[in-house]
Structure 1
Amino acid sequence: MCGIVGIMDIGGKRDIDRAVLSRMNETQHHRGPDEADLYLEPGIGFGHRRLSVIDIAAGLQPLGNEDGSVMVCFNGEIYNFRELTVELKALGHVFRTRCDTEVIVHAWEQWGEACVHRFRGMFAFGLWDRNRQTMFIGRDRLGVKPLYYCLTADGFLAFSSELKALASLPDLERRIDPRAVEDYFAYGYIPEPRTIYQGALKLAPGHTLTQKVGAPLATPVKFWDVPFAPHAPMASADVEHELIERLREAVRIRLVADVPLGAFLSGGVDSSAVVAMMAGMSDKPVNTCTIGFQDKAFDESDYAAQVAAQHGTDHYTGNVGTDDYALLDTLAGLYDEPFADSSAIPTYRVCQLARQRVTVALSGDGGDENLAGYRRYRYAMNEHRVRGRIPAGLRKPVFALLGRWYPKADWAPRVFRAKTTFEALSRDLVEGYFHGVTLMSDAMRAQLFSDRFKTGLQGYRAIEVMRGHADAAPTDDPLSLLQYLDLKTYLPGDILTKVDRASMAHALEVRVPLLDHQLVEWISGLPPSLKLQGGEGKYIFKKSLESHLPHDILYRKKMGFSVPLATWFRGPLKQRVHDALLGPLLGDSGMFNPDYLRHLHEQHQAGLRDYSAPIWSLLMFEAFLRKELRA
């Protein structure tokens, strides 16, 4: 696991400024504290920060082929590199190392742009071919590893693992993109391919970009998508057996490392399943860790201890106090752009804890998106069934009116909190789902933003992100479509971003077996009824794990990785909230309506509404603006 940077003169062979390249590279020191190196030739510069995991002695990058005509800098792991090495050697390629990085070089020589189809793993890389005068950059299928890029005003293409490296370029266009702000306050993150800056982009998961010298800036090309292609009918017992075997293999290939390895264990289904598979393949106790919370309403450590005891792991629990809010400014520096998932706090802490004992940790991320584990899928499908029973001509005006006039009752029992449901029922499936997952609704954002800012949006709405993915979806099944939307937005934009930055802040490599692309492809072809059945998400997954995990682990209510924001904002962070929402940074930015900021503050402090999620998003945005002023 590493940090990579690169600069290419698109127009020719102007020298790359070594000091600029070095500065870019050093902004990512935390991603690879073990070694660093630069490579320069006319028109090209690569930089690499290395966290040594495989072939510690010989895996220094940037790395080239035999004559140095092909160079690569790479972040990630190619889990099938040994098989590819054997195949490529048989085709005449000569290897000088036993690391997975060199496979990329020879795979490019052999298969060109199609090489990415051969890689099984998580990866982001930049490759330069001098003979073809071509730069080739690529990102793994699910977006486990990040990759940013930009074209500077003077014609240089640059890429990096984190946005902070591009932000260090003197010619990057750093004006805030209004569409990114609209996206952020809808989703709580900025979905691919946009970034907070107008001058920088994320390379979307499953995409490559091929840039030739002298050509205009290339357009990214998609090389993979989740197929959702139905399998031939299978008996339930056969599905359960094959699911476990495929999970076991996805875990097994991720156990290769020349450094200490372990796993996160939250006590939830997904991380527990990964640990169960690891324990079954190891002669030694698996290293596991979890975070416990002093507030028992947020604590799952007892469940994690139960799984650890069942599988004989070497388990360690760290504790987080109810006042662990000091990371707010740290997070703004880690994520480089506004990021409003408050579970980044415990994620940061569990990565910090794990790094004390291991260099590589396996996680259970991806199970909810793959196997329909989120409760919101159940709610969305219930709403979809209701929609189907009422003609659209009647449904839209009736439920739109009810949603407009029904009071917002956050304080009331769920049965009386119908406003969101009414509003969702007035919409189609995609818009209803978007409305259900948004951090701030369309109506709230309309009040949040100033008139000048809304004019600058030129009619753009954040739902266009989901509409675009829905139009490209390979399935018309309603549940599969919602999973597809999350696999394209929430998974890479929130979950994987959160884990990558939190783990790399501590030089910890995290591997995600439930996002093995072959496993994802196979799961996507299972009948939707095996994923969500009778209101039970991950139905077939839980059934298949019944002989591996306790019943109360599999079927208990999902808790999630959350923190007590509402309490913080009315207590120890009360002054911080006041100063941020009513202070000069947000007020002078010209983006926000100060009256609505005051409304959010007063209503929350009075206990009349729970605005903790919107307020957190504003705190993180204000912290980003403060960081920008210091840059």
Structure 2
Amino acid sequence: MCGIAGAWSPSARDRADSLHALGKRMGQAIAHRGPDDAGTWVDENAGLMLSHRRLSIVDLSPEGHQPMVSADGRWVIAFNGEIYNHGELRRELLALGHVFRGHSDTEVLLAAVAQWGVRAALERGNGMLAVALWDRRQRELWLARDRVGKKPLYYGWSGDGTLLFGSELSALRVHPGLDAQVNPDALALLLRLDYIPAPYSILRGVHKLQAGTLLRLDAAQWQAGASAHDPATQQERWWDARQAQEAAIARGFDGDETQALDALDALLRDAVGLRMEADVPLGAFLSGGTDSSLVTAVMQAQSARPVRSFSIGFDNVVHDESAHAAAVARHLRTDHTELRADGQAALALVPRMAHIFDEPFADSSQLPTALLCQLARQHVTVALSGDGGDELFYGYGRYARALRNEALARRLPRRLLATLAGEPGERARLGGLAALRGELGAVDLQAVARNRISRWRRPETVIHGARRALTAYDDPAALPRNGTPADALMALDFACYLPEDILTKVDRASMAVALEARAPLLDWRVVEFAWSLPLSMKRRGDTLKHLPKQLLGRYLPESLVVRPKSGFGAPVGDWLRGPLREWAEAQLDERRLREEGHFDVATIRGLWGEFLGEQRKWHTHLWGVLMFQAWREAQLRQ
């Protein structure tokens, strides 16, 4: 697990020492992602630089140093991630005559690219990655991101035409020519979703590579620059989630529930086993929920010693699952560590959120996630998580509510629907007639789903200069053309919410403390298996994630399996009225809001006043504003 960065300016012909200096500065900006080693490689004639920061996980020797040049000298790689099946690929490449210096997965990936080409190498790999590859023969730069989007990659052009790219925005911001203006459309997405999905970023002219895509640039494409670049057409899919889901649905699962349980057990054991390979200490996040408990159980079943497990608890009982996590740990006999967090811990951490997440991010579970990662890093360098189970196995209660609302809207007379048409705005979040209009006025399943996941319903009205930016929740092409409405809802979350919220949160929080997080449930084989299952194996009556729960029952007693679902959140409302109130008031100061000019001041101050007066529960709306304000403040101090 590492951080990568780079720059390319073919016409500049920068001197090698200038490029190395830039690479060192860009690498230093993301040093937290890789504190163990640093490297810069320069092609002076091409005006290209690759920078790398290393967190050593597999092959701790200097043979794993990056950037790395292929044995034939053609390819140079800067790689962030892990290729879990590198042993299998290594054996195949050895049979084809390749010779390896060390045993890192980076060297295997580089040899695979040299043997089969970029696309085929990516398709053969099983892992997570963000990668930059320079083809010295063809003078082409390749940027790629893994199937699910576990690892991030930003790119954009500076004012002088230099192409910049890196694992985090902070690496790009090192270049003095980068125009660091806020993109109001992306800010509106932050308020709507709590995150900014790819290909957007908070900065104008900077894009994020989308999950399962690659970008190939030659000198002509570089010269066209930012003005001619369209992420929608130039980011090419090397793995298409919709096509894979459609194929899995069409294929289906040919077997009964017992056979499905056996198949899932075998797949998950292999996926977990592959992710237990490391030359450093390893553990697991254990919230006590179905997914993390299942991953920890399968992990412990394959370990000769007690697995290190970690959980976090809160004084607020609504958000506290620590007792259940401890009970699971006792049954599995893991070596369990628990952290108790209160408002004071949050108060200490909140000012650092802007640095940890690099780009504004407002999912309040960022706080416990960051605290959990800090705890785990004191003991291990790698931690397995249960991320992905909800999106694959029908784990959210909002799916049932969305299907109910969509079915009800289809039964209502068109005349009545016409009277409900029109977005009622933020009051739709407060119940009553406005909420009814907001729900039943949605015209199709995607609109219903968008309502369920939207924090702000009309964020563009409160941000100066913002237009509505479209995401997977607006794009019919994101929906599988077969399957059930439930499959469609899970597909939307897999395309947007999972990579851009859940995985972004875990990546930034873990890498801020140089901890590698691995998600076995998002092994592509588990993903496509889950898509092949009928809904009856995912939802059974009111029970969500039926099959994973049944499998968990093979490892835990029923009393530890059957329980209500709890979210991994934080009592933000209590904190904003308590220990965080002074900090929040400074962020929402009326004079400051007017001078900065991003928000409609009257609306923001009005929500803050109603929240403090306990008239309305606006803390979820305000948290996105606060996270942006804290981010902007941090950028100005740099």
Give the alignment's TM-score, normalised by structure 2.
0.92
Q: 2:113 aligns with which of 86, 90, 108?
A: 108
Aligned residues of 1:373 and 1:538 also touching (Cα < 8 A): yes
Describe the superposition over 1:11-42 as per-residue Cα deviations: whole angstroms up to 9, x where unpaired.
47444522221110001111111111111121
Q: 1:591 aligns with which of 598, 603, 606?
A: 598
Aligned residues of 1:142 and 1:205 also touching (Cα < 8 A): yes
Tell me the CA shift for residue 630 of structure 1: 2.1
Residue of structure 2 in register with 1:362 after alignment: 384
* Alpha-carbon distance between aligned partners in 2 of 1:299 and 1:131, rounded to the nearest angstrom: 56
Closer/same/farther in 2, CA of residues 585 and 338 from structure 1, 3 Å limit: farther
Whether 1:289 and 2:305 are equivalent positions in the alignment is no
Paired AA for residue 136 in structure 2: R
Moved more, 469-478 or 423-432: 469-478
Aligned residues of 1:2 and 1:31 also touching (Cα < 8 A): yes
Describe the superposition over 1:24-77 as per-residue Cα deviations: whole angstroms up to 9, x where unpaired.
000111111111111112122111111111110121111112243321111110
Q: How does 1:19-58 map to 2 (within 5 A)?
A: 19-42=21-44, 43-57=47-61, 58=63
* Alpha-carbon distance between aligned partners in 2 of 1:574 and 1:121, rounded to the nearest angstrom: 42
Whether 1:225 and 2:240 are equivalent positions in the alignment is yes
SS in 2 for 1:278: helix
SS in 2 for 1:601: helix
**Gapped regions of structure 2 (runs ≥ 5):** none
Residue of structure 2 in register with 1:253 after alignment: 274
* Alpha-carbon distance between aligned partners in 2 of 1:232 and 1:541, rounded to the nearest angstrom: 16
Whether 1:68 and 2:89 are equivalent positions in the alignment is no
* Alpha-carbon distance between aligned partners in 1 of 2:569 and 2:14, rounded to the nearest angstrom: 50
Closer/same/farther in 2, CA of residues 275 and 593 from structure 1, 3 Å limit: same
Q: How does 1:103-142 map to 2 (within 5 A)?
A: 103-114=108-119, 115-142=121-148
Residue of structure 1 in register with 2:199 after alignment: 193
Tell me the CA shift for residue 441 of structure 1: 1.4
Aligned residues of 1:447 and 1:596 also touching (Cα < 8 A): no
Closer/same/farther in 2, CA of residues 468 and 399 from structure 1, 3 Å limit: closer
Paired AA for residue 454 in structure 2: T
Whether 1:609 and 2:616 are equivalent positions in the alignment is yes
Describe the superposition over 1:178-211 as per-residue Cα deviations: whole angstroms up to 9, x where unpaired.
2101111111111101100112111111001111
SS in 1 for 2:599: coil
Identical columns (%): 40
Paired AA for residue 9 in structure 2: D
* Alpha-carbon distance between aligned partners in 2 of 1:94 and 1:438, rounded to the nearest angstrom: 52
Q: How does 1:77-96 map to 2 (within 5 A)?
A: 77-96=82-101
Closer/same/farther in 2, CA of residues 421 and 310 from structure 1, 3 Å limit: farther
Residue of structure 2 in register with 1:206 after alignment: 212
Paired AA for residue 437 in structure 1: I
Paired AA for residue 281 in structure 1: Q
Residue of structure 1 in register with 2:563 after alignment: 556
Tell me the CA shift for residue 295 of structure 1: 2.3
Describe the superposition over 1:266-302 as per-residue Cα deviations: whole angstroms up to 9, x where unpaired.
1010000001101111111111111121222221111
Tell me the CA shift for residue 475 of structure 1: 3.4
Q: Root-mean-square deviation (CA), in Å? A: 2.1
Tell me the CA shift for residue 469 of structure 1: 4.0
Tell me the CA shift for residue 446 of structure 1: 5.4
**Gapped regions of structure 1 (runs ≥ 5):** 411-415
Describe the superposition over 1:371-406 as per-residue Cα deviations: whole angstroms up to 9, x where unpaired.
110111111111122223234x235225448x8599
Moved more, 103-112 or 201-210: 103-112
Aligned residues of 1:11 and 1:214 also touching (Cα < 8 A): no
SS in 2 for 1:124: strand
SS in 1 for 2:505: helix
Describe the superposition over 1:296-343 as per-residue Cα deviations: whole angstroms up to 9, x where unpaired.
222111111111111111111111123322222201112222111111
Paired AA for residue 356 in structure 2: L
* Alpha-carbon distance between aligned partners in 1 of 2:40 and 2:372, rounded to the nearest angstrom: 32
Q: 2:400 aligns with which of 378, 386, 389?
A: 378
Whether 1:439 and 2:484 are equivalent positions in the alignment is no
Whether 1:424 and 2:439 are equivalent positions in the alignment is yes
Aligned residues of 1:263 and 1:289 also touching (Cα < 8 A): yes
Closer/same/farther in 2, CA of residues 404 and 171 from structure 1, 3 Å limit: closer
Describe the superposition over 1:511-544 as per-residue Cα deviations: whole angstroms up to 9, x where unpaired.
0001111111111121123223323221222123
* Alpha-carbon distance between aligned partners in 2 of 1:484 and 1:126, rounded to the nearest angstrom: 28
Q: How does 1:146-157 map to 2 (within 5 A)?
A: 146-157=152-163
Give the alignment's TM-score, normalised by structure 1.
0.93
* Alpha-carbon distance between aligned partners in 2 of 1:170 and 1:504, rounded to the nearest angstrom: 25
Closer/same/farther in 2, CA of residues 232 and 327 from structure 1, 3 Å limit: closer
Paired AA for residue 83 in structure 2: I
Tell me the CA shift for residue 578 of structure 1: 2.6
Tell me the CA shift for residue 484 of structure 1: 1.2
Paired AA for residue 321 in structure 1: D
Aligned residues of 1:420 and 1:436 also touching (Cα < 8 A): no
SS in 2 for 1:532: coil
Aligned residues of 2:313 and 2:338 also touching (Cα < 8 A): yes
Paired AA for residue 22 in structure 1: K
Aligned residues of 1:264 and 1:289 also touching (Cα < 8 A): yes
Residue of structure 1 in register with 2:544 after alignment: 537
Residue of structure 1 in register with 2:4 after alignment: 4
* Alpha-carbon distance between aligned partners in 2 of 1:244 and 1:470, rounded to the nearest angstrom: 34
Residue of structure 1 in register with 2:337 after alignment: 316
